[in-house]
Amino acid sequence: MRRASTLPLVGTPHPRFARPLPEGEAILIFPVALLAVGLVLLALVRRQVVEWQTLTGAGLFAVALVAAALWVRWRLPLADLSVLAIAATLAAVGQIMTSRLEASLGPRQGTWVLIGLGAMTLVGWLPSIEWLRRYRYTWGTLAILLQVLTLVFGRDPNGSGAALWFVLGPVSVQPMEIVKLLLVMFLAGYLEEYRELLTMAGRRIGRVHLPPLPYLAPILVMVGAALLLFWLQKDLGPALLFSTVLLAMLYVASGRASYVVLGLGLLILGGALADRVFSHVHTRVISWLDPWSNRETIGYQLVQALYAFASGGVFGAGLDMGSPRYIPAVHTDFVIAAIGEELGLAGTLAVIGLFVLLVQRGFVIALNARSGFSALLASGLTFVLGLQAIIILAGTLELIPLTGITLPFVSYGGSWVIANFVLIGLLLRISHEHANA
């Protein structure tokens, strides 16, 4: 273990276990208790015998969280543990809902979370956050490469209509989840480099600042290529996510709202164009504009989700007492509708609340960062989590066209749970390196 790697870029080094046992770690009891209660409740509702086995998942989760907390105290003693606690709570909700919706997948989801917590500790091997900045173009190139590889070698094992997976023997991996992190690292590095130019330069037409195209060109090329590849893969969710994350980071770097307005305008224009050109986009738009007339066909999934939300009411039907089985893909993209039906508005607002807390902690880390790159990286990673949640939630609630994307930590699946915990690890690392000592 190289000691130097944990040294923050700015500020004084911190001796190992320098601070007393912080009360902060106690909040990790909450996700563990939530998962334990949820699993026991589920067994009781299903009139199964509650055995120690019922609590295996919660037990392993507890062990993994304690290990993660120990690791944080060892390697990142100044990190803000609350992001991990909130993410773990969302993951607990995800494990409960997966066990409820697809009982056989429950243990697998638990395993993904354990692997995710393990993968999170990988950030400990990073020399430093600064090191990430140095290799920004490498991350960008890797992202595009992975995209191209997906296009060439991607498989569609679940029949979702988009070939987004690498199948490696028994496991399938979605490279998009890694691309997500790589692109944010690239963007943070690049925008940091040209931040001042982006802020100052550019032509003005009246009161509107036009972006300085020469400086923007490399990111437009990079991100444009990524987006194009997503389009080619018919994977609209990530395309929308990256577009909005790019705009958000551009704003954070430049402070120019006009970039965002311009970008959103282009996005809508592009969407309208795609609506006319691509039938799979048109289908999404139609089923968004009027799902009720198409409830037997393309609007089926959305209408079933809305029925589920409505049937939940304020307090919900109760865990395992609703009928979310009518919603296709309920345990992945539409998990919030199942929460809405069985845990009610109380449950969905609690999940929204957790996401608000999570992004709030993420932004606090960005605000406390002492370098532009770290601030941009932390806010970019936070945007990835927040915007991903907003895109799928708004889609299931008929606010925007539905695009296939998962609800971070809650939806069933391995690739995204692991990638999102790595993301949490990065946030922990940034918060540690820039903590006020």
Partner 1 sequence: MLDDVRKNVRRAALALVACFGLIAIALGYWQVWRAADLGQDPANPRIADERLLLPRGRILDRTGQVLAESQTTQAGLQRHYADPSLVHTIGFHSDRFGDTDLEAVYAAELSGERSLSPLDRLERQLFHHQPQPDDLVLTIDKRIHDAAIEALGKSSGAIVVVDPRSGAVLAMASRPFFDPNAADSQMPALQGDPSQPLFNRAIQALYVPGSTFKTVTATAALDRNLVDLNQPIMCTTAVKVGSYSVDCKNSQHIPRLTYQQAYAWSSNRVFGLTGLLLGFPNLAPINRWLDDKPPGPYPWTENDGSIQASADVLDEYARRFGFGRAVPFDVPVAVSHIKNPDTPWTPQLLVQTAFGQGELQVTPLQMALVAATVANGGRVPTPYVAADLRRDGSAQQLHEPGQFFSIASSSEVASTMVSFMVEGVDNGYAAKAAISGIKVGGKTGTAEVGDGTSHSWFIGFAPADAPRVAIAVIMEHQGSGSDFATPAAQQVMRLALSVYK
**Per CB under 8 A, does 318 bind partner 1?**
yes
Query: DSSP assignment of 338-365, as one string?
Result: HHHHHHHHHHHHHHHHHHHHHHHHHHHH
Smallest separation, CB 196 to partner 1 (Å): 8
Q: Which residue has the tokens 């969905």?
A: 348
Smallest separation, CB 316 to partner 1 (Å): 8
Q: Where are the beta strands (DSSP E) in 232-289?
A: none
**32: number of CA atoms within 13 Å, CB side?**
16
**Per CB under 8 A, does 40 bind partner 1?**
no
Sorted by sequence, the CB contacts under 8 Å of residue 214 that are 6+ apart come out as none
**Per CB under 8 A, does 114 bind partner 1?**
no
Q: For the window 243-282, what string marks contact with partner 1 as x by the rule CB under 8 A?
A: -----x--xxxxx---------------------------
d(CA 402, CA 33): 34
Question: Binders of partner 1 among 327-386, rule CB under 8 A?
Answer: 340, 344-345, 348-349, 352, 355-356, 359-360, 363, 366-367, 369-372, 375-376, 379, 382-383, 386
d(CA 236, CA 385): 17
- Name the packing angle between helices 213-232 and 136-153 (round to 10°): 20
Of residues 22 and 255, the one with the C-beta less far from partner 1: 255
Smallest separation, CB 390 to partner 1 (Å): 5
Q: For the window 197-236, what string marks contact with partner 1 as x by the rule CB under 8 A?
A: --x-------------------------------------
For partner 1, the binding residue among 44, 115, 142, 397 (CB under 8 A) is 397
Total residues contacting partner 1 by CB under 8 A comes to 57
How many C-beta atoms lie closer than 10 Å to residue 286's C-beta?
A: 17
Dihedral of CA 309/313/316/320: which sign?
Answer: negative
Of residues 62 and 216, the one with the C-beta less far from partner 1: 216
- Stretch of 30-38, 111-119, 144-152, 387-395 contacting partner 1, by CB under 8 A: 387-395
Of residues 275 and 320, the one with the C-beta less far from partner 1: 320
Of residues 211 and 386, the one with the C-beta less far from partner 1: 386
Burial level of 138, CB count in 10 A (0-12/13-18/19+)?
middle
Question: Binders of partner 1 among 52-91, rule CB under 8 A?
Answer: none
Burial level of 53, CB count in 10 A (0-12/13-18/19+)?
exposed
Both tokens of residue 298?
A: 């393309």
Smallest separation, CB 323 to partner 1 (Å): 5
Both tokens of residue 167?
A: 């199948």
For partner 1, the binding residue among 312, 401, 413, 414 (CB under 8 A) is 312
d(CA 233, CA 222): 17
Both tokens of residue 81?
A: 């543990």
Of residues 395 and 425, the one with the C-beta less far from partner 1: 395
Rule CB under 8 A: which residues touch partner 1?
A: 195-196, 199, 248, 251-255, 295, 303-304, 306-307, 309-315, 317-318, 321, 323, 326, 340, 344-345, 348-349, 352, 355-356, 359-360, 363, 366-367, 369-372, 375-376, 379, 382-383, 386-387, 389-390, 393-394, 397-399
